[in-house]
Each structure stands twice: as C-alpha cells, then as structure tokens.
Amino acid sequence: MTVSERLLHYVTFDTQSDENSETCPSTQKQKCLGAALVEEMKSLGIADAYMDEDGYVYGTVMGAEHAPVIGMIAHMDTSPDCSGENIKARIVEYQGGDIALNDTTVLSPKDFPRLERSIGKHLIVTDGTTLLGGDDKAGIAEIMTAVEELIAENVPHAPIRIAFTPDEEIGRGTDRFNLKDFGAKYAYTIDGGTLGELEYENFNAASAVLTFHGRNVHPGYAKNCMINSQLIAMEFNALLPVHERPDCTEGYEGFAHLCEMQGDEERSVLKYIIRDHDREKFERRKEMLRQITAFLNEKYGENRVELALNDSYYNMSEKIKPHMYIVDAAVEAIKQAGVTPSIVPVRGGTDGARLSYEGLPCPNIFTGSENYHGRFEYVPVEDMEAAVKTIKNILINAAK
C-alpha cells in the first residue's frame, strides 16, 4: 500500500478528540482506528502489535542488535477545531492557481502563499467542509509505509518501537504513555508540517480560564447596582497587548490567544492559551494575567475575577540539546531524501515535548501537511514520500 493510499484510508476514521471528556481516550471512536492499525501491523509481521485499554497502540520491528532502539511516534486523534466526520478527500494534480474544493470554497495561493511551492505536485485535499486529518494521520501513514518497505527490502536497520497515541490535540497524548516498557533510546514524532522542517524547540505552554462574576438587575433600574460580567471580561482582554496575539507573531515570538468566550450579565468565562519559547518571558506572561486579575478585583470588588492558570508543557530544547546527535542524524536523513533541511521552532506542542521531559529525547519531523486544523488542509503526496524516505534513512543509518 502506498503512503497516499494509507492516508486516504485512515482519514475515513473520525478520530476527533474532546477536551471536555474525562475518559482516556477522550472519544472511544479513536479506538476504531487503533484497532485497524493493530491488524495492519500484524499483517506486516509485527507480531507484538497491540492496543492497550487507554487507546495507545504499540509494536516492535526487530533490527540490528548493535544499533540503538529508535522510537517512531504519531498521534491518531484530530483537532476539535473542525469537523473530522465524513471526510471526502481526493488527489488533485496542482498546476497553479485556485483549487475548487466545492461550489463556494477555494484553496487559493492568495490566502495561502505556500501553495505555490507545490506546483507540479499531487495534493490530497478536502471537500471544503471538514479538516483532512493529515495532522497526524499523514505521520501514521509515513511510519507504516517506511516500516513496510524496510521489512520488504530486508535491509539492515535499527530496531524500531512504534507508538500511536490518542488525544494529542487536547494536550493529553502522553498522559498514559507506557514509557517504562517502550524501551527506545530516543524517538522522533512524525508530526511536523512543511517539507524539510525539523523541530526540537517548542513553546512553553499554559492554559488560563478567567471567570467573571457580575450582579444582574433589571436594566431599567440598574444605575449604581448592575455589574455586568461581560464588560469586565472585555476590559480584561483589552488590557492584554494587542500586538502579542497569534495573528501578529511569528518565529520565537510568544502570545496570549483568546480561544473561547461565553457569558451573560451574571457570569462570563474567557479561555486563553499562553505560549512563549523563552521560559522567563513565559513566566512574565502568566504574571501579567495575575496582575490584571488583581487590578480588576481591586476596581470592581474582591473575587469578581477568578483566574485558573495551569502549565501544559515546556520547551523540549533543554532536554534535546545534550543529545544533539539525534538532531544531526535527522538532518542527514532529510538531505539523503533529496530535501533541504530547515530547523525551525515549533509554534505549538507535540507529544515529543512531554516525552523529552520524561526522559525520551524526541525531536519532531515534517509530514508535509499544511494548513492544519481547518477546511483548507492539504498535503502533497511527493512530500509524504520524502518523509517516508527520511524515516527509512534514519533507521538504516543508525545500523551502519
């Protein structure tokens, strides 16, 4: 099976995770893909493939005894930001200009300039009503295809430990990862984006939930009585720097992102994610939220504003830098695949960030996918094939 055939098959499984669920996995439908992957792995000769009760899929491919055991990891769930149900994916040969996804929706280089890099390639696209799910089913397809080819070619390679995780998109992908039994010396998450990108730095991340308590009375008699929680919430947001939002930042620049809001006069809630690569700046961003909360409570009365602030993960660079040989190995593998490596910071997080902090150094390698988490997601088949070559090169080189 080709890497594109695998992706087209995997995206037929709706695996959207749910941050409001308290189960693991957060949605049982993720286990449907997990079960299918176990059966596929067994058909390739991976006899120990299994899925545990929490929806994590594991398997082992034996390799050269003198080589280190290398992990290859991808996640099964798709983002809650856009529907992943009834995905209608297709392959189009891109010759430039707009791609009509449906009668009213186009994928255009005017909106997404990176599209022009793919002229002459074959793109897997959506029908404009759902996400594609290349994040991270492209990664799964690339790992599975690389493994199948290595087994068929019978070339010496490092032993491989495979893991496919649930719930990465909601920050729980490693909560119940069986690191003790995984047994790899180091690993790579195949969960990056643009062709050639390699990442070993990610955001420090936190979530912030602000709850605003008002006092509602009839608006006709509200003078000096009403305290409108929505207006306090608006004031809170207005006190954050307007130039430190996702739409105004890039590279190593951090941000505070308002991702959800709801409320009425009596009670309002704002939910933010806080991100910064630099740990000191990250801590200052959190302190700013505390100071604004204190200011508004002093202005409107004690406990009018409640802040719940929780760290999610930290920049894995400090755990990777003592093991830079694994980054160097990936750079060489990408070059051997005929691609120019591009080392960039992750403007997000991966399972590898937490795994690195738990003792498994884990850089992130490109899948080729673009425009994650939305209706305009696409992935060039040729870029997926380059990711397959990169994975194979890493594993073969480690056995030399």
The residues annotated as belonging to the active site are: 77, 168
Q: Which residues contact 11 (CB under 8 A, 6 or more apart)?
A: 87, 89, 132, 133, 134, 137
Do residues 173 and 165 make contact, with C-beta atoms less than 8 angstroms apart?
yes
Closest C-alpha to 192, from 369, 315, 318: 369
Nearest-angstrom CA–CA distance, 19 and 8: 26
Q: Three-class SS of residue 255?
A: strand
Nearest-angstrom CA–CA distance, 297 and 349: 33
Chain centre distance of CA 398: 27
Closest C-alpha to 182, from 328, 76, 313, 48: 48
Do residues 398 and 325 make contact, with C-beta atoms less than 8 angstroms apart?
no
Chain centre distance of CA 318: 20
Largest CA distance in the chain: 82
Closest C-alpha to 178, from 194, 191, 164: 164
* 66 token code pair: 């003198």
